[in-house]
Structure 1
Amino acid sequence: MMSFQFTQRSGIEKQVRSIARGQISRALEASYEPRGNLDDLVHQLRRRCKKLRGLVRLIEPRFKNAKRENRAFRDAAAGLAGRRDAAVMVETFSQILEIDLNRKGRPQISATQAKDILHSLQQAVGGPPDAVEATLLLRSFIEIFEAAKSRAGTWEISGKGFDQIGDGLEATYRRMQTGLAVVERDASAEAIHAWRKDTKYHWHHVSLFVAAAPDTLTARRHNLDRLGEWLGDHHNLAVLDATLADYPDIEAVRRVIAERQATLAADAIGLGRQLLAEKPNMLRERFERYWTLLPKKD
């Protein structure tokens, strides 16, 4: 089974099927006999879902069942979200505390309040699940992925040649440009979260193309990953802010959150402008030229 990248410039439909089935199979293998830390496994499985949704987005304009498959992978990830999302809130608040402690001058968040909030967030995560809880958590995921694996072998992509993936590549990049324009006007949490989604999709698309031009695209993928992390951190802070909304005397925490979000938004806009300077049709043409650098067959 193929890794998450194209390796030849022919047989696009066959490669897409193989990439999809490879991601699904690896997720199922890890789920049938879960080992180690369940939270780490959940994180890995959700990453598989995101890769598969990125693959579907690449072929969406040429794939009539794109909505069905995207919904399946989205639902599979959503079924695992609870434990991971609670753990992310602990991580995010810990980062805010570190930023506040390292600022010039006196920290805004008191040590007592920090301890109380951190304890409360950790309580939401709960203890390690037992074998029964782990099985129940993974059951729905396995069912969805087993069905998706059967369908992935029959995915059909209309058209021929690079157009089968070029349309989706260009459309996603265009949406990412639109998202940046919206954020430049109003860097709201909602706008940044929407921009992040297309940024991640484009990151996955670049990952699929890396073998065609590794020296050029590895750098782009790295910068897209960095941009996605900043946007993800901004979103996590927005969720943390909402989570803490009912806590008493929370103004200092919210100020630190807002300051950090402002910094992340400014950094993201600056990097985004560089990554999105190219017109969509020009990016498509460039990637098509990269595509010709792949061997005709493995």
Structure 2
Amino acid sequence: MLSNIAQHMSFQLQSGEPLIDGIRRISLQQIDQALDQLTNPDFDRDKAVHEARKTCKRLRAILRLVRDEVGYPFYRRENVRIRDASRLLAPARDSAVMVDTLDSLVHRFENLADDDMAGKRVETAVFTPFPATGFATLRTKLVERHQHLSRHILETDAVPRFITAVRTARLQVAEWPLQNEGFSAIAGGLYRVYRRGRLRMTRAQENTTTEALHDWRKRVKYLWHQLEFIQPIRPTLLNELGEALHSLSGSLGNEHDLA
């Protein structure tokens, strides 16, 4: 499997690479990574599911980038195909996140308790140590739930269906009706994702619900992945914007995990 750094670097246009060639290369690369992660028995199953779903998100970001170029019917068909395939793996990933989130909370408040006992907190602070041991039963239940959902995915046709859908998507990449080599081929898609992200941000500010924040985060991640892809065009500027979006996505993701 590619390292995180290698995966990040590979999800970019290469210097001097024609746009259409880069789009097809990246799309095939993401699909192959997803297939590799789920068909290699040596990979950790939880990590494989997580990485496969991330590659689907990157691929959907690319589809949004070229939406105007390929046309809405083509875009919708392929986007729905990848979306539905990713959803087959969602229960196992979501249940793993619940365990990780609980562990993070316990660790965080244990550290706060240590700081408080060491006198590192202001004397007027009111702090009640986090009863980590009281969450042992909850953690056991969450782990059991995750194991059940993971077994369910392995024992049903979820993974084979995912593989079939993604392989079908791979065959379609060569048929993507891409013609324009200039920035105009992706400008509309890039602007649409940015505009919708701003709209979701406004909605989340006006009505701060878990659903609104999650919807905003999805648009943030699409834009982040798109900037990753075109980063070599304006390396310094797009890298800075990408890092800011990555950070924002992480903060919104933490909120969603806690919710």
Give the structure-1-normalised TM-score. 0.72
In percent, how many aligned pairs have the same letter?
Answer: 30
- Counterpart of 1:172 in structure 2 is 193
The one-letter code matched in structure 2 to 1:47 is: K
Q: Secondary structure at the match of 1:204?
A: helix
Indicate how the Cα distance of structure 1 residues 225 and 44 shifts in structure 2: closer, same or farther if over 3 A, else same: same
Partners of 1:70 and 1:88 in 2: how far apart?
Answer: 25
Question: What is the aligned length?
Answer: 236
Asked if residue 214 in structure 1 is aligned to residue 214 in structure 2, the reply is no
**Which of 82, 98, 115 is the equivalent residue of 2:107?**
98
Q: Secondary structure at the match of 1:156?
A: coil
- Counterpart of 1:138 in structure 2 is 159
**Which of 46, 57, 75 is the equivalent residue of 2:84?**
75
Superposed CA offset, 1:69-109 (max 9, x none)? 11111112111112211110011122233344427544375
**Which of 136, 152, 156 is the equivalent residue of 2:177?**
156
Consecutive unaligned residues of structure 1, counting only runs of 5 or more, are: 239-298
Partners of 2:132 and 2:101 in 1: how far apart?
Answer: 17
The one-letter code matched in structure 1 to 2:10 is: S
Partners of 2:250 and 2:126 in 1: how far apart?
Answer: 28
Conserved 8 A contact 2:91-2:149? no
Partners of 1:226 and 1:137 in 2: how far apart?
Answer: 32
**Which of 4, 13, 26 is the equivalent residue of 2:11?**
4
Asked if residue 56 in structure 1 is aligned to residue 63 in structure 2, the reply is yes
**Which of 96, 100, 110 is the equivalent residue of 1:87?**
96
CA RMSD of aligned residues (A): 2.5
Q: Secondary structure at the match of 2:14?
A: coil
The one-letter code matched in structure 1 to 2:105 is: I
Superposed CA offset, 1:260-285 (max 9, x none)? xxxxxxxxxxxxxxxxxxxxxxxxxx
The one-letter code matched in structure 1 to 2:29 is: G
**Which of 240, 245, 248 is the equivalent residue of 1:227?**
248
Partners of 2:37 and 2:103 in 1: how far apart?
Answer: 30
Indicate how the Cα distance of structure 1 residues 107 and 94 shifts in structure 2: closer, same or farther if over 3 A, else same: farther
Consecutive unaligned residues of structure 2, counting only runs of 5 or more, are: 1-8, 114-124
Partners of 2:135 and 2:40 in 1: how far apart?
Answer: 38
Conserved 8 A contact 1:100-1:109? yes
Deviation at 1:127, TM superposition (A): 7.2
Conserved 8 A contact 2:92-2:149? no
Indicate how the Cα distance of structure 1 residues 178 and 170 shifts in structure 2: closer, same or farther if over 3 A, else same: same
Deviation at 1:134, TM superposition (A): 7.2
Superposed CA offset, 1:26-78 (max 9, x none)? 22233333313100111111111010011011111222211111111111211
**Which of 198, 219, 232 is the equivalent residue of 1:198?**
219
| 93-102 or 73-82, which deviates more | 93-102
Q: Secondary structure at the match of 1:6?
A: coil
Indicate how the Cα distance of structure 1 residues 116 and 109 shifts in structure 2: closer, same or farther if over 3 A, else same: farther
Superposed CA offset, 1:233-288 (max 9, x none)? 111122xxxxxxxxxxxxxxxxxxxxxxxxxxxxxxxxxxxxxxxxxxxxxxxxxx
Conserved 8 A contact 1:17-1:154? no
Asked if residue 21 in structure 1 is aligned to residue 42 in structure 2, the reply is no
Partners of 1:115 and 1:29 in 2: how far apart?
Answer: 35
* Off by >6 Å, runs of 4+ in structure 1: 127-130
The one-letter code matched in structure 2 to 1:61 is: D
Deviation at 1:112, TM superposition (A): 5.1
Partners of 2:132 and 2:38 in 1: how far apart?
Answer: 40
- Counterpart of 2:121 in structure 1 is none
**Which of 31, 42, 45 is the equivalent residue of 2:52?**
45
Q: Secondary structure at the match of 2:101?
A: helix
Superposed CA offset, 1:167-210 (max 9, x none)? 01111111111111112222111110110011000000110111
Asked if residue 125 in structure 1 is aligned to residue 149 in structure 2, the reply is no
